[in-house]
Amino acid sequence: MLSFGAFSLFTPWALAGFVLLPLAWWLIRLTPMRPRRIQFPAVRLLAMIDQTRSSAHTSPWWLILLRLVMVSLLVLAASQPVHNPESRMLANGPLLVVVDDGWAAAKDWPVRVQQAESLILQAQRQNRNVMVLTTAPALSPMVPQVLNPVESIAYVRALQPKPWSVDRRQILEALNHPDFAFKTAGQVVWLFDGLREKEGSSILDESLAALSRLGPVRLIEPAHGTEARALYPPRTGGETLHLPVRRVRGDGAEAVTLVAFDDGRRAIGNAIARFETGELEAEATFDLPLELRNRMASIRIENERTAGSVVLVDERWRRRPVGLVNDSTLADNQPLLSSAYYLERALDPVSDVFSGPIDELLDRDMAVLVMADPDELRSDDQKRLEAWVEDGGILLVFAGPRMSETSLAQSVSSGPLSGLLPVKLRLGDRAIGGAMSWRRPAGVQAFGSDSPFFGLNVADDIVVRRQVLAEPTLDIDDKTWARLADDTPLVTADVRGDGWTILFHVGASAEWSTLPLSGLFVEMLQRVVGLSRGIHGTAENVVLEPAFVLDGFGALRVPSAGVSPLTADSLGTAVASPRHPPGFYGSDDGVRAFNLTAALGPLEGAVDMPEFVERGFYREGQETALMPWLLLLAMMLFVADLVISVGVASTLSKLGMTSRRIAGVGVLAAALSGTDGFAMAADDADFIDAANNTRLAYVLSGDRDTDEISRLGLQGLSAVLAQRTAVELAPPAGVDLKTDELAFYPLIYWPINQNSVVPSSEAAEQANAFMANGGTILFDMQQSSAAAGLGQLRRFARVLDIPRLVPVPGDHVMTRSYYLMNDFPGRWTGGRVWVVPADERINDGVSPVIAGGHHWAGAWALDETSQPLFAVVPGGERQREFAFRFGVNLVMYVLTGNYKGDQVHLPTILDRLN
Amino acid sequence: MTVAASASSSPSPENTYFRAEELGASLPPLMVAAERIAATVSQGIHGRRQVGQGETFWQFRRYQFGDSVHNIDWRQSGKSQRVYIRQSEWEAAQSVWLWCDRSASMDFASAPDVPSKAERAALLALALASLLTRGGEHVALSGSDKPPSSNRAALQEMSLALSDSGGSENESHTGVPPTESLPRDSRIVLFGDFLDDPDQLAQTLNRYAEQGVQGVVVRVIDPAEEALPYDGRVLFEDMELDGDVLLEQVNDARQAYSEQWQWHGARLADIIRQANWASVVHHTNHSPEEALMHLYLLLSDADVR
């Protein structure tokens, strides 16, 4: 057998037939083809020609070529070529197939199944029995069973990858199983997933050794670089989320795209992890707006469908808005000593802190409100605050001098927030230790198991010098979350409706205690904020029922009956198994994510193998014998030859002649003019089409996703325009600024992001001409933070002829060209939109540039079923409606110019505005 | 151009007729320049500068006994004591005979977008006939029994006869014009490919010359006949006789054929010149207007050449 590449020849000596080719050539040249018959009027004149001069007849070159190819094909077919040859099984005995069906095998599962099938088919041809061993643990232990090939194919087809790791000890167990029937095997084939067990484990080598005692072992592994990658649960780093990605082999640099999805499986963001050459771990950073981040439900490696490439995200990684009540209008003279400063520093890593007067904060949607040493509230504020807490808010109050003073001065029940505090306070405060006291300042007790702070380490050096005291009541014990060493409550809390009120009996600054200086303070605040994430209950050993679990391909499914609940405290340490597949556990009011990779160490590639193992790679495609195809081709050529040379139909040859002539003309034209001739013809049709149909256009950015979003966005907008207005637009066109004619488009949408390259000078020239001649370009920086986007635009402005821009004035035509509107939201909102100040003399007052960062195309993009593709934040569908309205106004403005700015309509508009 | 665009459509009689009319419409009515007009010809437009049948006033003459009272011009007579009769000029028409070669070799078109030679010859003949009748001249198809006539109905008949594929019995299929006896001083226009032996044409022209008939020879040529645009091994089949010719390599024979073709053309031109006739060479891939204009000029010219 002779092989080169994916091809092999089984009878290579047949190639000697090629020696005959020159002989064939000579023979072919001698036999002329049948002449063409042509009816001709002037035959009398032809007959008078002296024919002795005419040369010896020869067949045309293409006929010779055709026949030579035919002969070559026959010779080649005789050598029995095969594509993708399987290596043959040599030894006698049954076939043992070991299938790794853990999470890492899901990456190219169909290829594995195909490989197993082709092995079994081969065994079938050779009348061998088959045994299939799987390595991933299952609910019921595997019983090794000898199957006939037909059964085993059905068995292999029914196999599915599991969302947990393989356990190869099963092989050893199976080999030692009393039912194990083989003493020897003809061939052992291991469909390997490319991963070793944990570092330092020798199970793989042991099982290989055990298998090799049965027969020759062949190990088929994924091609290097195609092994599964693993995505690990995120670390929170302030405002960003960092996700480590690991791979098996460090050859070559590689970029892995991660996509975050919300619970409706809509993509809400992506990030890229870049592996440098030699690195096994890379990190991707998600920097998403808070609102989006809180909707994140899972993060996946793009285009990889394994359970290890998915990280489920639960409330732990979400940031909640925390309001810091700050009533004082006066600037603090010692800002670094104020309680607000301590609170902000402590809360910042886990949440987004907003500070302001209480009524403003209540206007917004806050998860937690923090008040340090609160003052008397206005009664309506107090009422709103109570309602807010009942509704599920968490009110966190720190004691302070003001609180103790007012409670001292007034009756116990009418202090600030009196109705809202978890406990009644005693008058005054208590100082522990100090110059006049024997007692030393008190430390903090370890937290009880019923406290949400349970498990936090209490440092010895925390001392409390002063605190407010609770009126002792019967239930005070249940309300207490933390105590001082002398059992007086340090933190008390009470449930109120769906919410909590929590009182720290010390101040938030370092004046009364050293608690705010410690790391414990941060952790305690995190736990408190964590409460707002819907994780009710203080006990960590609460039982979490499985809600959704991952299957082997990383898709969420309803759990099967064999899946058992997890306890909350075991979430961090549990290893994914048939009883506990990764997934979401918990009930509706709070699910916890259990990730496969949480307990998965670094990936260990199988680099070294014992020498007796024959190694191979998975291949796409099965063995194909090429001989029938070659013979078929030769046959077809033979028939063609017959038709041509016998001239079965003279029309055929006539056709042949004309087509050759056409081809000749084509080749000639192409040679003379390059491809311009054809391009011009195609362009003309395009131009006519473009001139006859008004359409929106977008700039092709070169990034497929961005272009697709632009296209879908403009398409969605066109649909809305057709529904609501008289504007009926043809499907949007993508334009390449450098090469395409722009004159046909009234409006060009130009998405700009970090990856956008500054246009080349030709492109800039075209764009400038477009703007100068009345076109409008909508620059969309597609970022919620306008500053970065404007930087991008500034870069562009260096080459583009962009005039001075101003924010859209309130009386701009765009605010009333169809709908009356004040701001122009897209996928985001709140940023500014910039235009060129209106000058009625130029372009009918239409601004050649409109710039903003609201990612309008994202808001306009609809899928085939007219469902929006992307979430808009924060406003939901109402915001999307306004985004569409902006689009309608924009197109109207571009198409009709200052028509709506005309004073004629002013009374009506004024009427409606009032 | 309408003509070119419709050239490939099927040559039904009406179609050819209308196209011919259309073609002729671009030129003013054709009056054949006549040196002498046979006495036999009927009333027409060529004034004979003598009294006779006609429309145009020629002279007043004193009434003589025997003149018809209808001819007395009463107005003129009233001006004087005498009685005058009004006489018109004798106006005569020239008769032109047309002949189309309708042998099998005329039924050849080298490409789908080129009309066959027969089609083109019929078109030219009809267009010419249309022009002539509008000029008041009398036209007849050579070989038909119809006398020359100048009315439109005759034109229709002519178009039917030309499209009649078989041709009449007394016409040969060898592409040689008939040598029937024509009235003296009439004209004849011959349309054909004249690929046969030129001597046959010479005999015919001599015969006409003896009768005092002069005319024009229109050679209708397909471009492929001139260029021989084939290659490879080709068997050329004669369209009329069984004389097939096999060329092993047409490319090699093209030069020799071209010489042969030119010699043939020169020989034809010689014969026509000797007979003091005129000739027009028309390629079927050229527009028919060109040939028609040429014919128009030749026929309206006093000095036919």
- For the segment A382-394, the average pLDDT, to the nearest whole number, is 84
CATH of A320-531, one of 3.40.50.880, 1.25.40.10, 3.20.20.70, 3.30.450.40: 3.40.50.880
- For the segment B114-143, the average pLDDT, to the nearest whole number, is 84
CB A96 within 8 A of CB A188: yes
If DSSP codes are grouped into helix, strand and coil, which group holds residue A862? strand
CATH 3.40.50.880 residue spans of chain A: 320-531
Nearest CA in chain B to A37: B235
pLDDT at residue A698 in the model: 92
For an interface test with B, give the residue of A34, A46, A61, A660 to mutate (most B CBs within 10 A).
A46
CATH, range A230-317 = 2.60.40
Return the closest-CA partner of residue A617 out of A100, A156, A4, A112: A112
The tokens describing A199, both together, are 């570092």
pLDDT at residue B104 in the model: 82
> Distance between CA atoms of A898 and A902, rounded to whole angstroms?
6
CB A14 within 8 A of CB A78: yes
Q: Which CATH superfamily is domain A686-913 in?
A: Domain of unknown function DUF4159 (3.40.50.12140)
Residues of A with CB under 8 A from a CB of B: 32-33, 35-51, 53-57, 60
CB A164 within 8 A of CB A563: no
> Distance between CA atoms of A203 and A604, rounded to whole angstroms?
13
pLDDT at residue A88 in the model: 58
> Considering only A83-97, A250-264, A826-840, which range has the smallest mean pLDDT?
A83-97
Residue A652 pLDDT more than 50?
A: no
pLDDT at residue A767 in the model: 87
- Which residues, 6+ apart, have CB-to-CB distance to A304 below 8 Å? A107, A228, A229, A554
- For the segment A371-399, the average pLDDT, to the nearest whole number, is 83
For an interface test with A, give the residue of B260, B262, B283 to mutate (most A CBs within 10 A).
B260
CATH of A95-226+605-622, one of 1.10.760.10, 2.40.37.20, 3.40.50.410, 3.40.47.10: 3.40.50.410
Q: How many CA atoms lie within 13 A of A699 on its CB side?
A: 24
pLDDT at residue A469 in the model: 83
CATH 3.40.50.12140 residue spans of chain A: 686-913
In three-state form (DSSP H/G/I as H, E/B as E, the rest C), the secondary structure along chain B is CHHHHHCCCCCCHHHHHHHHHHHHHCCCCCCCCCCCCCCCCCEEEEEEEEECCCCCEEEEEECCCCCCHHHECHHHHHCCCCCEEEEEEEEECCEEEEEECCCHHHCCCCCCCCCCHHHHHHHHHHHHHHHHHHCCCEEEECCCCCCCECCHHHHHHHHHHHHCCCCCCCCCCCCCCCCCCCCCCCEEEEEECCCCCHHHHHHHHHHHHHHCCEEEEEEEECHHHHHCCCCCCEEEEECCCCCCEEECCHHHHHHHHHHHHHHHHHHHHHHHHHCCCEEEEEECCCCHHHHHHHHHHHHHCCCCC
Confidence bin at A888 (pLDDT 50/70/90): very high
Residue B268 pLDDT more than 70?
A: yes
pLDDT at residue A669 in the model: 46
Cβ–Cβ gap B248/A46 under 8 Å: no
Chain A residues close to B252, C-beta within 8 Å: 53-55
CB A96 within 8 A of CB A144: no
User: Which of A38, A42, A54 lies nearest to residue B252, judging by beta carbons?
Assistant: A54
Type of residue numbered B32: V
> Considering only A2-11, A471-480, B56-65, B67-76, which range has the smallest mean pLDDT?
A2-11
Return the closest-CA partner of residue A98 out of A191, A227, A172, A203: A191
Residue B236 pLDDT more than 70?
A: yes
Distance from CA of B243 to the nearest CA of A (A): 7
Cβ–Cβ gap A36/B117 under 8 Å: no
Residue A239 pLDDT more than 60?
A: yes
% of chain A with per-residue pLDDT over 70: 83
Cβ–Cβ gap B195/A44 under 8 Å: yes
Residue-wise pLDDT for B38-49, tens only, equals 444 445 556 656
Residue A433 pLDDT more than 80?
A: no
If DSSP codes are grouped into helix, strand and coil, which group holds residue A698? strand
Cα radius of gyration (chain B): 23
pLDDT at residue B262 in the model: 92
Residue A842 pLDDT more than 80?
A: no
Type of residue numbered A551: D
Residue A629 pLDDT more than 60?
A: yes
Can you tell me the ipTM of this complex?
0.71
Confidence bin at A536 (pLDDT 50/70/90): very low
Residue-wise pLDDT for A100-140, tens only, equals 888 888 888 888 888 888 888 878 777 788 888 888 888 87
Q: What is the mean pLDDT of chain A?
A: 79
pTM: 0.42
Find where tokens 């665009």 sit: B5
Provide the pairing of β-strand A834-835 with A806-807: antiparallel
> Considering only A365-369, A453-457, A686-690, B178-182, which range has the smallest mean pLDDT?
B178-182
Chain B residues close to A51, C-beta within 8 Å: 247-248, 253
In degrees and rounded to multiples of 5, residue A55 shows phi and psi of -75, 170
Distance from CA of A638 to the nearest CA of B (A): 21
Residue A537 pLDDT more than 80?
A: no
Name the residue ranges covered by the structural domains of chain B: 2-39+93-300, 43-92
Task: Summarize chain A as % helix, strand, coil (round to 5).
Answer: 35, 20, 40
User: Which of A38, A47, A48 lies nearest to residue B234, judging by beta carbons?
Assistant: A38
pLDDT at residue B218 in the model: 92
Type of residue numbered A465: R
CB A873 within 8 A of CB A859: no
- For the segment A800-805, the average pLDDT, to the nearest whole number, is 80
The tokens describing A516, both together, are 């705010």
Return the closest-CA partner of residue A635 out of A45, A49, A203, A69: A69
CATH 3.40.50.410 residue spans of chain A: 95-226+605-622
Find the largest Cα–Cα distance for chain A: 145
Residue-wise pLDDT for B171-223, tens only, equals 445 566 776 777 777 788 998 888 888 888 888 888 888 888 888 999 999 99
Number of cross-chain residue pairs from A and B with Cβ atoms under 8 Å apart = 93
The tokens describing B42, both together, are 């009927």
Q: What is the dihedral of CA A622, A626, A629, A635, to 10 degrees?
A: -170
- For the segment A334-342, the average pLDDT, to the nearest whole number, is 77
Confidence bin at B7 (pLDDT 50/70/90): very low
Cβ–Cβ gap A41/B246 under 8 Å: no
Residue-wise pLDDT for A726-747, tens only, equals 888 888 988 888 888 888 888 9
Cα radius of gyration (chain A): 39
Confidence bin at B269 (pLDDT 50/70/90): very high
CB A229 within 8 A of CB A106: no
CATH 2.60.40 residue spans of chain A: 230-317
Q: Where are the alpha helices (DSSP H) in A394-500?
A: 401-409, 476-479
Query: What's domain B2-39+93-300's architecture?
Result: 3-Layer(aba) Sandwich (3.40)
Cβ–Cβ gap A39/B235 under 8 Å: no
- Which residues, 6+ apart, have CB-to-CB distance to A488 below 8 Å? A430, A442, A467, A469, A470, A505
Chain B residues close to A56, C-beta within 8 Å: 248
Cβ–Cβ gap B260/A36 under 8 Å: no
